[in-house]
Amino acid sequence: MTRKPTFPAEITGLRRTVPAPAKPAAGPVAKSFAPARLETARPVAAQVQATGLDFNAHRARMVQRLAGGGIGEARVLRAMGAVERHRFIDTALATQAYEDTSLPIGLAQTISKPSVVARMAELLCASLAGQPGQRLGRVLEIGTGCGYQAAILSHLATEVYSIERLKALHEKARDNLRHFRLPNVHLLLGDGMAGFAQGAPYAGIIAAAGGQSVPTAWIDQLALGGRLVAPVLRGEQQALVVIDKGLQGITQTVLEAVHFVPLKSGLA
């Protein structure tokens, strides 16, 4: 295969006529064609490695903060420590990946704050307390977004079904999750308002978008003994709601205020 004629050829010419060019080469391609640049290439590679290590350290600190902030479930802390959140967001925002903040993921949607993801995951697997090594059975997530929470849930449940209504985000999540090779995560494109009857009954259902009420389909698809965690509008403000399905019926608990994107119907 022949090299592309223009850019490297120009660089070669430059190197001959201008002894020690002070200006850095215009792009990464130039480095591979200019031996003089090899010296700068090593620090760049080292920098990339250091960034990976930084991310690990930042993630470990995030987990410490979550534990300090009240997350006590070891399974959740382990999952939060294992899943590389920076891989789910734009590189331009990656330095904020381990701060406790929601971040844009495109199409006016956001990846939830780590503390909220951990809190909801902990609520979802409360039934496992005192049973180390156990996982939840099948879990349904409404609102895949970038796929981060689905990856967290993959550590906590035997199977994760995650529905997204926006095709572009469904595809983005698929791309993001490819790296992690999670055979128990099943991404679905569809309107999550109807749940996903084929996977029911679910040990847990978790919603990452808030509506006026909890759709009855979700409650129908919840297993006996199962738990649903979702943001629901109460007046002007959303609150986290936990619904338990027991032999005696449905129990609803309203918890703290939250801020999620709206639950919408239909595909887009």
- Phi, psi (rounded to 5 degrees) for 143: 100, 75
Residue 268 beta carbon to ligand SAH: minimum distance, rounded to whole angstroms? 8
> CB 152: neighbour CB atoms within 10 A?
24
Task: Pick between residue 165 and residue 227 the one whose CB is nearest to ligand SAH.
Answer: 165
Task: Pick between residue 31 and residue 264 the one whose CB is nearest to ligand SAH.
Answer: 264
Q: How far apart are the first and last CA of the chain?
A: 43
Task: Pick between residue 143 and residue 226 the one whose CB is nearest to ligand SAH.
Answer: 143
- In which order are the strands placed within the sheet that holds 202-207? 185-189, 157-164, 136-142, 202-207, 222-234, 237-246, 249-258
Residue 166 beta carbon to ligand SAH: minimum distance, rounded to whole angstroms? 4
Q: How many residues bind ligand SAH (CB under 6 A)?
A: 25
Nearest to 114 by CA among 75, 85, 88: 85
What whole-number distance in Å separates Cα of residue 37 and Cα of residue 53? 25
Stretch that binds ligand SAH, among 18-26, 157-165, 220-228, 250-258 (CB under 6 A): 157-165
Q: Rule CB under 6 A: say whether 76 interacts with ligand SAH.
A: no
Q: Rule CB under 6 A: say whether 166 interacts with ligand SAH.
A: yes
Choosing from 112, 154, 162, 213, which is the catalytic residue?
112
Residue 220 beta carbon to ligand SAH: minimum distance, rounded to whole angstroms? 16
Query: C-alpha angle 205/211/212, rounded to 5°?
Result: 120
b/e code 35-45 from CB counts within 10 Å (16+ = b): eebeeeeeeee
Strand partners, 104: 110
Q: Using the rule CB under 6 A, which residue among 71, 80, 83, 142 binds ligand SAH?
A: 142
112 is catalytic: yes
Residue 15 beta carbon to ligand SAH: minimum distance, rounded to whole angstroms? 47
Q: Using the rule CB under 6 A, which residue among 62, 79, 140, 261 binds ligand SAH?
A: 261
Footprint (CB under 6 A) of ligand SAH, residues 197-236: 208-209
Give, in order, the Cα–Cα distances in Å from 186 to each of 159, 201, 231. 8, 15, 23
Please tell me whether the peptide bond between 215 and the residue prior to it is cis, using omega within 30 degrees of 0: no
Residue 131 beta carbon to ligand SAH: minimum distance, rounded to whole angstroms? 26
What residue has token string 């572009």? Answer: 168
Q: Rule CB under 6 A: say whether 157 interacts with ligand SAH.
A: no
Residues that bind ligand SAH (CB under 6 A): 105, 109-112, 142-143, 145-146, 148-149, 163-166, 169, 191-193, 208-209, 261, 263-265
Catalytically active residues, by annotation: 112
